Amino acid sequence: QLQLVESGGGLVQSGESLRLSCVEHGYLLDYYAIGWFRQAPGKEREGISCINTNDESTYYADSVKGRFTISRDDAKKTVYLQMNNLKAEDTAVYYCATDQQWFSAQESCTKTAHYDNKFWGQGTQVTVSS
């Protein structure tokens, strides 16, 4: 049974950085995309960054492009999200999720109709004070 465990969230001030980690426990097909999603209070869950190492594709939402970097260490079965220059609007619960079928990185993040079919972690809270 696959389990995704996120860590690294916390409370920071605007302009500071955090690195989130997502450790994969169990069997994960490394050619499936995996990514980071977030949900702020009162808002829909959104895909902010996804990666598919099989086709070497990455995707970033416009709201985080240039500030966030996703990476994957297959040996450690860990996916990272380096978040720099954090803003108050980045405050949300951040989730790691992977697919059960093949999608490109962009499809994995943006095909909201397939969100219910993903494996999800429990989430980690990121709070940015202005």
The string of pLDDT tens digits covering residues 67-123 is: 999 999 988 999 999 999 999 999 999 999 999 888 999 999 999 999 999 999 999
CA angle 39, 119, 96 (to 5 degrees): 45
Residue-level pLDDT at 28: 66
Does residue 74 contact residue 95 with C-beta atoms inside 8 Å?
A: no
- Measured in residues, the chain has a length of 130
pLDDT at 53 over 70: yes
Question: Quick check: 102 and 30 in contact, CB under 8 A?
Answer: no
Question: Is the confidence at residue 49, as pLDDT, over 80?
Answer: yes
- Alpha-carbon separation of residue 62 from 22, 27, 49, 50, 92 (angstroms): 22, 32, 10, 13, 16
